[in-house]
Structure 1
Amino acid sequence: MPELNLELQDTQWPKTYIDHDRQIVRAIVVDDQQKYYFVRVQRDDDFGKGIFIETSGGGVEAGEDLTTALKRELKEELGVNVDILCKIGTVSDYYSLIHRHNINNYFLCKIVSFGEKHLTQAEIEDFHLSTLKLTYEEAVDAYKKQTSTKLGQLITNRELPILKQAEELISNYM
């Protein structure tokens, strides 16, 4: 199955200018029972107020390759060690409100072990990050429910095609 490659525009805020690109790693994380792990994010910021489902992941730091960044982010946010099964694809999208172009590199990962989370102060205090363990159907429903908000629409546009691709790929690995 070829990697998904999506180019999305910000459909919610007017584009004025983009002043930076951000390399991001994200993962569809599954366990032996084919349950999916996501982060639940509660926000009240420039993007508005809301509770969202998102894949775990974050920015690639200077000197990191995608694999190193992904394993670090998953350990920090979900407290998991994973096997990276394959790259699902790349989603290029924009957040016009903060003038940013995101290059999201998505991977399919299987949990090897659970450990301690290492959340940042912002993840704890600003975003109230927590873990969601869902079936595929529950995850699709959660994404669809958040499309009533501007940010929720952008997240869902980016992640639902990736989740659907991952569901198809899983049968090759499980």
Structure 2
Amino acid sequence: MLSPYNLAMDIIKEFKDDQYPRKGDWKERRIARGVVINGDGLFALHRIKRNDIFGNYAYYETPGGGIDLKESPATAFQRECEEELGYQVEILGEIGIIKDEYALLSRKNVNYYFLAKATKYVGKHLVSDGDSLIERTLYLPLDEILSLYENLPNKGIPFLLKRRELPIWLKAEALLNREKDALSLAKPPKLY
């Protein structure tokens, strides 16, 4: 079984924004995000469409959002999944932390990533300005998601998201494969 979350997550990567000029003093934002699998073995992925200071782009992003004051990353992730996906989720484990920045927003992010499964549909209730950028939520096999990220352009906001999220999907894939291998080893052999 995957280890329970303990918020002593490893930092997987740290990225500087080399795509846009900085606009002011840096602010830090803590964000809870994750890889969510549904009962059909498909993974949730937002298609984001924006036309703003970053430009006119479409790209993909994991569910998640800002951590409220006095809220743990795990609790924030569960809340964000209810808001954006309409599902309560069970956290299966931690994936890790990605630190990145958005120079146009003068923001440095600490992204806490979890692996979770959708358990109960409770209905979406999008509440933040960022939620309005979600064009739609897709449920796809992992290999299709990896292909979508690998084929994003290597410039602008899509590149920043690709750089942040592709390592998370690859680590989630490794965790799921390790879990599958452990479960198959735990099964007793068939006796003929």
TM-score (norm 1): 0.90
The answer to whether the aligner puts 1:97 opposite 2:104 as a matched pair is yes
Which of 78, 83, 88 is the equivalent residue of 1:71? 78
How far apart are residue 4 of structure 1 and its match?
5.0
Q: Does 1:169 align with 2:170?
A: no
Aligned residues of 1:4 and 1:162 also touching (Cα < 8 A): no
* Aligned pairs, number: 173
Q: CA deviation at 1:120?
A: 2.3
Residue of 7, 27, 50 corresponding to 2:14? 7
Take 2:116 and 2:103, find their aligned partners in 1: how far apart are those partners?
A: 30
Residue 88 (structure 2) pairs with residue 88 (structure 1): no
For 1:49 and 1:131, locate their aligned partners in 2 and report how far apart those are by CA, in whole Å.
19
Equivalent pair of 2:46/2:134 in contact (CA under 8 Å): no
Moved more, 57-66 or 127-136: 127-136
The answer for the alignment partner of 1:50 in structure 2 is: 57
CA contact (8 A) 1:18 1:96 kept: no
Q: Which amino acid aligns with 1:104?
A: N
Q: Could you tell me which of 116, 121, 128 is aligned with 1:114? A: 121
- 1:65 and 1:106 map into 2 onto residues whose CA distance is 12
Give RMSD over aligned pairs.
2.1
Aligned equivalents of 1:28, 1:133: Cα separation in 2: 11
AA of the residue aligned to 2:93: C
Structure 1 residue 142 corresponds to structure 2 residue 143:
no
Deviation at 1:131, TM superposition (A): 0.8
What residue number does 1:40 align with? 47
Letter in 1 for 2:77: L
Q: Distance in 2 between matches of 1:55 and 1:107?
A: 10
Q: Is the 8 A contact 1:85 1:173 kept in 2?
A: no
SS of match in other structure, 2:70: coil
- Which residue pairs with 2:66 in the alignment? 59
Structure 1, unaligned runs of 5 or more: none
**Greater CA drift, 31-40 or 135-144:** 31-40
1:34 alignment partner, SS class: coil
Maintained 8 Å contact 1:18/1:101: no
Q: Could you report, residue by residue, the CA deviation over 1:117-145 in whole angstroms, capped at 9, with x for unpaired residues?
A: 01126356x41442111111111121123
Amino acid at match of 1:73: E
Partner of 2:160: 154
Q: How far apart in 1 are the matches of 2:159 and 2:14?
A: 15
Percentage identity across paired residues of the two chains: 34
For residues 8 and 121 of structure 1, the distance between their equivalents in structure 2, rounded to whole angstroms, comes to 25
CA distance in structure 2 between the partners assigned to 1:55 and 1:25 by the alignment: 10
CA contact (8 A) 2:23 2:105 kept: no
Q: What SS does structure 2 have at the residue aligned with 1:152?
A: helix
Structure of larger gyration radius: 2
